[in-house]
Amino acid sequence: MKAKDRQLAELKSRIAEITPGEALQLQVQGAALIDVREAEEIAQGSPPGAHRLGRGFLELRVEDAIPDFDHPVVVMCNGGTRSLFAADSLARMGYSTLYSMAGGFARWKAEGLPFEQPSRLDASARERYARHLAIPEVGEAGQAKLLASRVLLIGAGGLGCPAAFYLGAAGVGTLGIVDHDVVDRSNLQRQILHAEAKIGMPKVRSARQAIEALNPTIKVETYETRLTSENVEDIFSGYDVVVDGSDNFPTRYLVNDACVKLGIPNVHGSVYRFEGQASVFWPGYGKRRGPCYRCLYPEPPPPEFAPSCMEAGVLGVLPGLIGLIEAVETLKLLLDIGDPLVGRLLCYDALKAEFTELELKPDPECAYCAAGSAFPGYVDYERFCHAA
């Protein structure tokens, strides 16, 4: 008997082998199913919900995917041999309840059990997003999800520029940008998508050029217009997340009201001199119902208490920090990972180098987002904010 055969016989004496049907039943009951085949094999099909870790990186990635060493684990390959060696390696790491699927994916498929063909990235995409692919919470499936996602940015200014630039770099497949303004020299202190040579150019066109130069594989849709009650739903339609980088209250209220009506998460950011804030307004969030923007600000503050950046000034790097927080929150929402800033307001004081988090609760009497309330309609936002 060859050494390989002796080792396989020894492994089979220690590691329980189960049929694909039994593996599926265990998965339904909560067990983790690990597919240790190579990427080229997985591209031909893999059980839904399987952890596709690959044999070469199994020991490096498995603990991130399955941190509980007592959690039941079923290991599968294509024919049932590599899974035995992989299960043995996991046993030596400390995993206590292990099974190897006899016959592997070939038998799973032959028995008519469910499988899916994961979206496959080409070689260029795999190289571009290699650092994402190494993260278990993202991986190839998550990157494919990002590439299929659509994010709308309100404003190509201090907040919108860094958010858009990094979302484009991350591979969000479609970025929409709404802005009616043109590039001014005073913008260049903080609006990093623009440049001296673009002064006078529409901001949406300048932003698109910069993003496409960074990542020509994504689509950038531009809306060179002022956002209004008449066009907001047409523009928002079809987007998964709205990132609000506006710097005025009429637009913030309009964005909020449209997002509430359409059920779209609203990733919010604002800056003032040395201070910034970020939150996610999404009353429809399933894990923890959050407030909308109107729950936090039922009425806009008087203008003298909320001057614009033009009037009050802003530290040039501060919008970069808050805009990147908005980008991080957007990626978390698209990937459905982590704990988004729903029901939380993250405040940053640059002079103190201090973050403070405030809990936000939905207003049960909110006319726009209270449970069971009918959408009251859009208002004259300029008059609403001016009257306050």
What count of other Cβ atoms lies within 10 Å of the Cβ of residue 195?
A: 14
- Identify the three-state secondary structure at position 50: coil
353: amino acid identity, one letter: A
| Beta carbons within 8 Å of 230's beta carbon, 6+ residues apart | none
Cβ atoms of 219 and 230 within 8 Å: the answer is no
| Beta carbons within 8 Å of 273's beta carbon, 6+ residues apart | 312, 313, 314, 315
Beta strands in 224-335 (DSSP E): 241-244, 266-272, 275-281
Residue with tokens 């240790």: 36
Measured CA to CA, the distance from residue 57 to residue 96 in angstroms comes to 20
Measured CA to CA, the distance from residue 371 to residue 283 in angstroms comes to 9
Q: How far is CA 364 from the centre of its chain?
A: 28
Residue 272 phi/psi, 5-degree rounding, is -155, 110
Catalytic amino acids? 309
Residue with tokens 């995917």: 65
For the chain, helix (H) and strand (E) counts, in that order, are: 17, 13
Residue 377 phi/psi, 5-degree rounding, is 100, 165
Q: Is 269 exposed, middle or buried (0-12, 13-18, 19+ CB in 10 A)?
A: buried
- CA-wise closest residue to 173 among 125, 231, 228: 125
Residue 98 phi/psi, 5-degree rounding, is -125, 145
Q: β-pairing, 98-101 with 275-281?
A: unpaired
94: amino acid identity, one letter: G
Residue with tokens 């039994």: 22
Measured CA to CA, the distance from residue 156 to residue 203 in angstroms comes to 6
